[in-house]
Structure 1
Amino acid sequence: MHRIIKEFVKGLWAELPPFRVLLGLCPTLAVTSSAENGLGMGVAVVAVLTLSNLIVSALRKIIPPKVRIACFIVIAASLVVAVELLMQAYAYPLYQKLGIFVPLIVVNCLILGRAEAFASKNGMLVSVADALGMGIGFTLSLTFLGAFREVLGVGTVFGFPVLWQSFEPAGLMVMAPGAFIALGFILAGMNALGKCLSRKREVVPARLDSTCSQCGACGFQAEK
């Protein structure tokens, strides 16, 4: 259970796909002109990633090593077709907004990367935990980036006004250059926060016995 929780949690911060390990940047930059688009793409990726990891983990012992990448792509492609058809049936306006980037989930490096690096080497439960953590982290990242761009570019979040009436939107933020600008600010903030959290803490050595003398190993002078 401890390992399952560990594999799930890592995708929420330590290995956050777009902002920490920089995976899946193509849809991250392309579809996040609004929070709704980011959330929709994230949910689609969660579904494909979770089922892909589950199937790859279940079949890992019978997939020939020489054709494993081709097998992973076939599995991902089958799942993406199913997700695409479901979106066309139940969320067609969102499907139209996401466009070609829904089929391109097949070659998303996050999907193939987790299948190759994790699911093909681990059991089904931990593979599903890994996929859910990575997928939810990816979804939150895209939604946050989309909301950030939407607020600055339009003044709304999920279509609801959140800023004062006199606010002048920066239309650049919902255009292609705005995606790179917003991503740069977020990466800078994440790096600064990461450095702050990982700052070396002073380790105060335990009080040594008075009979101990400085040997140079720890650099601590015993109190006399």
Structure 2
Amino acid sequence: MNQSVVVVDYGIGNVFSVCNALKQIGAEPQLTRDIPRILRAERVILPGVGAFGRAMDALRGFGLDEALGSYVATGRPFLGICIGMQVLMDSSLEFGAHAGLGFIPGTVERIPSVDKAGNPLRVPHISWSKVKPAAGVLLPEQWQSTPLSGDEDHQEFYFVHSYHSKPNDASNLLAVVDHGGNDVTAAITKDNIVGVQFHPERSGLAGLNLLGKFMGGP
């Protein structure tokens, strides 16, 4: 297993936490915004925290939007985390309309602020929560082929967010998390791309297991 992975450094958030988590599983993270290094990478992780528009401005400012598109086209593994997942979509409605990278068709929308009975919910959603396969993930082998594979009943991840991704195609919705009886997007996928809304680098053993599977481990 090749242990090398590029973590994209574009000035948005939690890159050092992600690198430290990767080192814990024996990976060799390269923190960089150097485009040739990104294009040569065997695997790429795009982390991020904060607002969608600011993240996209930073990616464009460094020329990383086009570079990431070229990397994704190679078919090599790509993981987006939190805002790094949301920017994979076509657009976001957070603090106005903003265009995203467009790797996965769909939008980023505010999570529900009321439960199924109409009672108010706290937004942002901040919790340790279990994820479950989305309705479109009908076959166990589909789930087991993703970095989220394993016993979902014993996997809790750390969430902190007010918006979530809404893919146009149900087949791109990998996992959801319960928020007051509402299914909120926890993970998306398309071809070689996986995006997770939660923070694996802050999710203990479950998060390390996910990163290990992204790196090609069992």
**TM, length-normalised to structure 1:** 0.23
When you count helix as a share of all residues, which structure comes out higher? Answer: 1
**TM, length-normalised to structure 2:** 0.24
Query: Of the two, which has the highest radius of gyration?
Result: 1
Q: Which has the higher contact order (CA 8 A, sep 6+)?
A: 1
When you count strand as a share of all residues, which structure comes out higher? Answer: 2
